[in-house]
Structures are given as C-alpha cells and as structure tokens.
Copies of this chain bind each other. A is one copy, B any other.
Amino acid sequence: MRRAFTEELQFISDQLVEMTRLTSTALDRATTALLTADLELAEAVISADDTIDLVRRDLDSRAVDVLARQQPVATDLRQLVMAMRMSSDLERMGDLARHVAKLTRLRYPHKVLRGPLEPMFTRMAEVAEDLVAEAGRIIANNDVEAVPQLLVTDDEMDELHREVFRTLLADDWGHGVEAAIDATLLSRYYERFGDHAVSIAQRVVYLVTGEWPEEDLHIEERMDVSRVEPLG
C-alpha cells in the first residue's frame, strides 16, 4: 500500500514537471510567433494548449483517485492537495502562452510589438522560461534552497514590466493607443506567467517546511499593478 502510494505520488510529481516543460515550450513558441508575426506557429501554440489542459485533467483525476483509494493523511494528504494547486497554476500558465499566441494571430500580418519593445519582450520570455524551469527543478527535487534565487529572477520580471510601462508613457512613444493597449496586456501575461511560477515554488516550500513563506501572505502583491507601475 505504502509503496503503491509512493509510486503514485512520484508519477504525479513527474507529471507536474512535464507540465513545466510543456508550458515553457508553449511560451517559447508563442514568443517566437509574436516577434516574427508567424501565424502558423501561433496557431500551433493555440492548438497545443489542449494537451496541457488534458495533462492537467488527468493529473487531477489521479490525485482525486489516490485520495479516494489510499485515504492519505498529514503530509501525504497535503502533497496531493498541493499537486492539484500546482497543476492549476501550470494550466493557467499554458493559457497565458495561448493568450500571447492569440494576440499574435489577431494582428497578423502585422507585428504586435512596436519600436523599442521587442528586446524587452524577448528578455521577458527568457526570464519567464527560466522561472518555470526553476519551478520544475524545485518540484522534482523538493529543492527549497533554490527558491530565493527564483524570487530574484522574478524581480527581474517585475523590473521588465515596469520598463514596458515607462516606454509606453515616454514622450517619444509614437505608436498610438492600440499598440500601447496590446503591450499592456502582453506585459501582464508574461508577468502573471512568472507569478504562477513563484506560486508553485512557494507551495513546495509549504510542503517541505509546513510553513507558508512570509511573503506569501501577500503573494498577490507580486502581481499588483501599483507595485510595478512607476506612474505614481
């Protein structure tokens, strides 16, 4: 019984790590499509999101099944509950990658990003992919020691988000309101993608230590517009 349970948990953990790979790939391809106005690639990202949703559904069904059959308590129970929350984060990250692809498709054959924004979003995507890769390693190894570094990486995401707003609000922004609206939404998608990676890391901390990280009480602050907009 115990061995079966351990195997089930390992399988679920492996599936979560697989989901980090799928969402990373999705965002990578969505960003390439965005930067090159590649309609075909955008369509591929949109279709591939169904796979992420299915993996999530399968993972959650298994977790509920294990709950019902094995009746875990204490740490074992917490692990399953947290796995379901992490799968929810990862599914949402897939949705955000799809949002990037859909905006790409909407503006095709034009590029969505104007002027100085391209390098910023190139970097945002790299940071976002670093974040989800770190989250995957943290899940795989229960590596809570790696969490502070992930938070530092997320700080760079927040700084990039601020930089986008500064660019849109600069006197020499000459690309109009539509391009500014698009960049606002895109910037929020990438930032939220990063926030979900942070959330996953914090759930692992909770599992390993039994304590929510101090920061988590205000985890939503990390994604708060008034923290990242230098507009006050």
Interfacial residues, chain A to chain B (CB-CB below 8 A)? 53, 64, 67-68, 71, 73-74, 77-78, 81, 84-85, 88, 95, 98-99, 102-103, 105-107, 165, 168-169, 173, 177-178, 180-181, 184-185, 188, 217, 220, 224-226, 229, 231-232
A-B contact pairs, 7 of them (CB 8 A): A67-B67, A67-B77, A68-B73, A95-B220, A106-B225, A106-B229, A168-B177
- Closest B residue to A106 using CB positions: B226
- Closest B residue to A81 using CB positions: B64
Q: A53-B217, A67-B67, A173-B177 are in contact. List 14 more A-B contacts (CB 8 A).
A: A64-B77, A84-B84, A88-B88, A99-B225, A102-B225, A103-B226, A105-B226, A106-B226, A165-B181, A168-B177, A178-B231, A180-B181, A181-B184, A184-B184
- Closest B residue to A78 using CB positions: B64
- With A99-B224, A177-B168 given, is the CB distance from A106 to B232 under 8 Å? yes
**Residues of B close to A95: CB separation below 8 A:** 220
Instruction: Select the residue from A68, A73, A85, A177 with max chain B CB neighbours within 10 A.
Output: A177
A231 to B177, CA, bound (A): 12
